[in-house]
């Protein structure tokens, strides 16, 4: 199964010469899956761990929108071609929420352990996006009211969980950011249909249970 998933990653993220196929991936997201995307700000060429935006303390270097802003995200293939035709190495940023998936993310090490626990529980997951620092589980769109009610009903929610909902964003593979490569930990199947994603309730319930049951301590960063 690992070999199949690895092959899927390559099909979705690489050109024949092995270089990241950013424009191809961006077009798949936008035109086939109807996920609104836009180019992210580049990392600072003088230091990959720094961002090219004006904020010297940026915590997500090269992994967020700047110019254009998040509201410019689109599913228009012509706009996508123009953006990446002019900025071929720009990270691909998904505008979460609306008709696009949202995401629940947590630090990489607890996330890997949580996914193993979720597999053991028989939990069905959709695509999972991984960076060196954090992994994000894609989920169906949710409202802030829905999320608030879900978290309020919990006795405990790990402080390191982050929620990428309406008005949020997430860098997608095969982007290169100041924090490193963005890749698929669980890759969607290639094809024309948008990938299936689970409900946020199921993911949060299972993640909290897995983290609690396995004794995984997720630091708050």
Q: What is the reported pTM?
A: 0.85
Residues 6+ apart with CB under 8 A from 118: 125, 206, 207, 210
- HSE, CB side, 13 Å, CA atoms: give it for residue 33: 22
DSSP tag of 159: T
Helix axes 144-152, 200-213, angle to 10 degrees: 30
For the chain, the distance separating the N- and C-terminal CA atoms, rounded to the nearest angstrom, is 32
Give dist(CA 70, CA 171) in Å, integer. Answer: 12
Could you tell me the sign of the dihedral formed by the alpha carbons of 100, 101, 102, 108, in that order?
Answer: negative
Q: What are the tokens at 215?
A: 């004794």
- Per-residue confidence (pLDDT) for residue 30, from 0 to 100: 97
Nearest to 72 by CA among 121, 32, 37: 37
For the chain, 221 residues long, give each residue's pLDDT as a single digit of tens: 333 344 444 445 555 555 678 999 999 999 999 999 999 987 666 655 678 788 888 888 778 888 889 999 999 999 999 999 999 999 999 999 999 999 999 888 888 888 888 888 888 899 999 999 899 999 999 988 999 999 888 888 877 788 999 999 999 999 998 888 999 999 998 777 899 999 998 888 887 776 676 555 544 44
Q: Angle at CA 73, nearest 5°, toward 186 and 27? A: 55
Residue 219, pLDDT score = 47
Question: What token pair was written down for 95?
Answer: 């505008």
How many angstroms from the chain centroid is the CA of residue 73? 15
Q: What's the pLDDT at 137?
A: 95
pLDDT reported for residue 216:
54
pLDDT for the residue 66: 86
How far apart, in whole angstroms, are the C-alpha atoms of residue 137 and residue 139?
6
Residue 43 has a pLDDT of: 66
Task: Record the tokens describing residue 200, joined without a space.
Answer: 């946020």
- In angstroms, the CA 83 to CA 48 distance is 22
The Cα–Cα gap between 199 and 202 comes to 6
How many other CB atoms sit within 10 Å of the CB of residue 220? 8
């Amino acid at each position: 199964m690992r070999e199949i998933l690895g092959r899927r990653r390559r099909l979705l993220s690489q050109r024949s010469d092995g270089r990241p196929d950013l424009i191809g991936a961006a077009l798949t997201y936008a035109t086939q899956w109807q996920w609104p995307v836009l180019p992210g700000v580049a990392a600072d060429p003088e230091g990959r761990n720094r961002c090219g935006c004006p904020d010297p303390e940026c915590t997500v270097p090269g992994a967020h929108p700047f110019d254009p802003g998040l509201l410019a995200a689109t599913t228009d293939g012509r706009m996508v071609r123009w953006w990446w035709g002019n900025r071929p190495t720009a990270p691909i940023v998904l505008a979460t929420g609306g008709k696009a998936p949202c995401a629940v993310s947590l630090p990489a090490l607890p996330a890997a352990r949580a996914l193993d626990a979720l597999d053991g529980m028989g939990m069905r997951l959709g695509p999972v996006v991984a960076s060196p620092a954090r992994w994000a589980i894609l989920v169906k769109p949710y409202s802030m009211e829905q999320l608030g009610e879900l978290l309020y009903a919990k006795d405990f929610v790990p402080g390191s969980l982050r929620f990428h909902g309406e008005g949020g964003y997430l860098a997608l593979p095969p982007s290169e950011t100041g924090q490193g490569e963005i890749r698929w930990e669980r890759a969607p199947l290639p094809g024309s249909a948008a990938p299936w994603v689970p409900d946020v309730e199921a993911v949060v319930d299972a993640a909290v249970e897995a983290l609690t049951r396995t004794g995984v301590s997720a630091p708050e960063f």
